[in-house]
Amino acid sequence: MESKLSCCKKYRYLNHKQVPSEFQELFIYTGYRNPNSSFRSCFKSIFCLNNNESINFWTHFIPFLICLGILVKNLCTNEVIKDYLTYPLLVQLSTICFYLLMSSLAHMLNCMSPIARHVCFILDYLSISIYGMGCAIAYKSYTLSTIKSSQKDKLFDYYILMVLIVSLIANVMSSTSRFIISPLQRSILRTLSFVIQYVFVNLPLLYRYIYFYHQTIFKNFNFIFSFLSSSSDIEIVHHDNYFLFKKGSDFFYLIQFLAALSSAFLYTTHVPERFWPGKFDIIGQSHQIFHITSFICSLSQYTALKYDMKQLIEMAHDQIFDRASFGYSTVPIIDSKISNSKIMAICLFLNFLILVYYYFKAIYFNPWNKSKIVNRKIDKGKNGHHKDD
């Protein structure tokens, strides 16, 4: 333990005036690592709690290990592997693991160079785009499949295609924000990209509540809290042309929504460091809390979808579910059906092209390079890390 502490003492960190503008975070004044650190230095820094990125790393890497453990446990269950109705849930869980890992690596390696910083966080945005697509596939497979309505089929024919387009646009918006000098404009564009993707991905939830509670909406306002009393047991109620369920998933969807609101609030307001600049540089800053709330959001969503999956399996056993169409999404533009795996592959490929484009932009058309503030020289031996870096 003493050797680790002595190792951490070898590193001296910079304040916000000693790093280029593109490395600065709002209201964070100290604990910056040298912007030209080696991989070895970056790796060592995450075990030292005297810089402003260590907690950011661990607040997503520990959740990554938790989700990875859940994924491995599911993959080791024979019943899960044999029943293809569970595959969309595994896809959604895999995308959670992916974005948590990319975020962790981004916070660990972003100080290797200005270009590395851009690439790290663009990969982070890419993983969020992939995560949105994984959620959409799970919603399409479970949440929408448990609703028997011809109106639903018409409304959501374009759902997967729409989410694919919106996820790509969100990635482009987030990546573009990295090359905007103004902090306010950068924050607005990036936040807007996340909000747009979240709203479009979660349209099936909005439709389900409006569809199942539409009569109650006009009679009284108790429908808002009606799902809080739902049990985890599955109860199918036949009503005209659809099946109404009492869902244990409703409570977890509510937690997801509240966690998403909290995440948006923290990401946009930078509370608490906004009111006490420099006091939460190492621990307690909004981005660290944002990591925790975003993980709660994702885990609650996974749990809710697991309940929806169980209901779908129950429907399949009762022979009121069309297994033949499961795992495929309608694409009306080409008048055909495409498997969810192919859609995910297309999403990965197109997001990779976006990554390549912004990588070259970071090299050749980076507006930060033209800023006089960015060209401030840093004395590595005097103000930066230990000379062994």
- Report the pLDDT value the prediction gives residue 216, as an integer from 0 to 100: 52
pLDDT of residue 372: 43
Strands (E), 212-300: 235-239, 242-246
Predicted pLDDT of residue 2: 47
Answer yes or no: is pLDDT of 377 > 60: no
| Tens-digit pLDDT profile for residues 89-148 | 999 999 999 999 999 999 999 999 999 999 999 999 999 999 999 999 999 988 888 776
- Sequence-ordered strand ranges (E) for the chain: 235-239, 242-246, 328-331, 336-339
Q: Could you say which DSSP state residue 21 is in?
A: G
Cα distance between residue 69 and residue 85, in whole Å: 21
Mean pLDDT across 267-284: 95
Per-residue pLDDT at 84 exceeds 90: no
Sequence spans of domains, the chain:
55-367
State the Cα–Cα distance between residues 231 and 256, nearest whole angstrom.
17
- Nearest-angstrom CA–CA distance, 210 and 151: 13
Average pLDDT of span 293-309: 95
| C-alpha span between 76 and 63 (Å, rounded) | 20
pTM for the predicted model, two decimal places: 0.86
pLDDT reading at 292 higher than 70:
yes
- Buried/exposed 185-209: b ≥16 CB within 10 Å, e otherwise: ebbebbbebbebbbebbbbbbebbb
| Cβ atoms 261, 195 nearer than 8 A | no
Question: Bridge-partner residues for 276, per DSSP?
Answer: none
Token code pair at residue 154: 């018409």
* 238 carries a ligand binding annotation: no
pLDDT of residue 190: 94
Which tokens belong to 143? Answer: 């949440």
Lowest mean pLDDT among 61-65, 326-330, 369-373: 369-373
DSSP one-letter code for 373:
T
CA angle 230, 235, 236 (to 5 degrees): 125
pLDDT > 90 fraction of the chain, expressed in percent and rounded: 58
Q: Is 107 annotated as a binding residue?
A: yes
Distance (Å, whole) CA 347 – CA 215? 38
